[in-house]
Amino acid sequence: LVVLKLGGSVITVKEEPLKPDEATIKRLASEVAASGVEELVVVHGGGSFGHPIADRYSIHEGFREPGQLRGLAETHLAMEELNKLVVEALIAEGVPAVPLPPLSCFTTRRGIISKAFLAPLRALLALGAVPVLYGDVVMDEELGFTILSGDQIVAHVALSLAATRVVLALDVDGVFNKDPKKHPDAVLLEVLRPEDVPSVEAGEVAAVDVTGGMARKLSEMARVASAGIPVFFTSARKPGNVLKALRGEKVRGTLLTSKC
Ligand code: ATP
Ligand code: IP8
């Protein structure tokens, strides 16, 4: 089983609200189709669909007043729209993709997954389908509601289903010692151990991001790698990278692993 996260920074133009990058979505769908991975779960991020609306209504901070309910609905609807684009692109390439809305199968407690109903996911995989999940609004046992990141979903699914590998498709080449967008002298970390994650300088994401950007992504992925599941970060901006990463072939990026 491979779990692939398509970063919101790749499938949308993250600085422009509600702007998908349809050409990239189409290319990535064709790379997924060509990879031939038999058991695959796809998770995608929010990019400029999820984050700006969630931020406007402070959905990630939990329920404070009824006016936020409109934001809850709008955030979910925006994510459904983005999910539709991803799923349609995958289907057009012959991938048996099926949307799986996280609002209906996860709850959290103070932002951390508390309950997960994975039976539909397992059943879809058993039939050879490719479930497509995404960062979403979820109901929270203490906060009322919050935002669950695609990264936390990736970690939960990979750990619960004992994935063989996780691939994270980003808008940068991998994990650097500091944010490559702000520091031209940043160095790509080709291999990273979970215990070295705290020493990585994770910069704030330039666009609106309510789920903690690279710092939170790294801590979620460190949990996965610590359990013995390798996580590979690569740039989905470069054609062919995701295809090779899915096949387990060598490509520029960062391997986060406890086995080195
Ligand atoms: P989304 O949360 O919308 O799904 P994503 O998963 O694609 O987005 P981001 O949360 O935007 O990814 O994180 C990627 C960004 O993290 C990069 O664009 C980069 O500028 C930033 N970043 C900060 N610190 C680092 C670092 N040390 N190495 C690599 N990228 C970093
Ligand atoms: O982009 C957040 O998921 P992420 C999704 O994976 C929303 O962090 C709705 C903001």
Q: Tens of pLDDT along 186-206? A: 999 999 999 999 999 998 776
Q: Which residue bears the tokens 């309950």? A: 115
Q: Report the alpha-carbon distance of residue 136 to residue 150 in Å, rounded.
A: 8
Q: What is the mean pLDDT of residues 74-89?
A: 98
Ligand nearest to the backbone CA of 204: 1
Query: Coil, helix or strand for 108?
Result: strand
User: Cβ(172) to ligand 1 under 6 A?
Assistant: yes
Contact 188, 254 (CB under 8 A): yes
Q: How many CA atoms lie within 13 A of 181 on its CB side?
A: 12
Query: Would you say residue 181 has pLDDT above 80?
Result: yes
User: Cβ(181) to ligand 1 under 6 A?
Assistant: yes
- Residue 181 CA, ligand 1 centroid: distance in Å: 9
Q: Distance between terminal CA atoms of the chain? A: 22
Atom of ligand 2 nearest to the CA of 51: 10
pTM (2 decimals)? 0.98
Contact 43, 140 (CB under 8 A): no
Ligand nearest to the backbone CA of 146: 2
Q: Report the alpha-carbon distance of residue 77 to residue 72 in Å, rounded.
A: 9
For 118-154, what is each residue's pLDDT tens digit?
Answer: 999 999 999 999 999 999 999 999 999 999 999 999 9
- Residue 7 CA, ligand 2 centroid: distance in Å: 9
Nearest to 87 by CA among 48, 43, 136: 43
Residue 145's pLDDT is 98
- Residue 79 CA, ligand 2 centroid: distance in Å: 9
Phi/psi of residue 211, each to 5°? -115, 15
Report the side by side order of strands in the sheet with 97-99. 97-99, 130-134, 40-44, 2-6, 165-170, 231-235, 254-256, 191-192
Atom of ligand 1 nearest to the CA of 176: 28
User: Cβ(54) to ligand 2 under 6 A?
Assistant: yes
From the CB of residue 70, how many other CB atoms can be counted at a distance below 10 Å?
11
Ligand nearest to the backbone CA of 182: 1
- Residue 120 CA, ligand 1 centroid: distance in Å: 30
Nearest to 249 by CA among 187, 165, 192: 165
In percent, the amount of the chain with pLDDT more than 70 equals 100
Q: What is the mean pLDDT of residues 201-220?
A: 88
- Residue 203 CA, ligand 2 centroid: distance in Å: 17
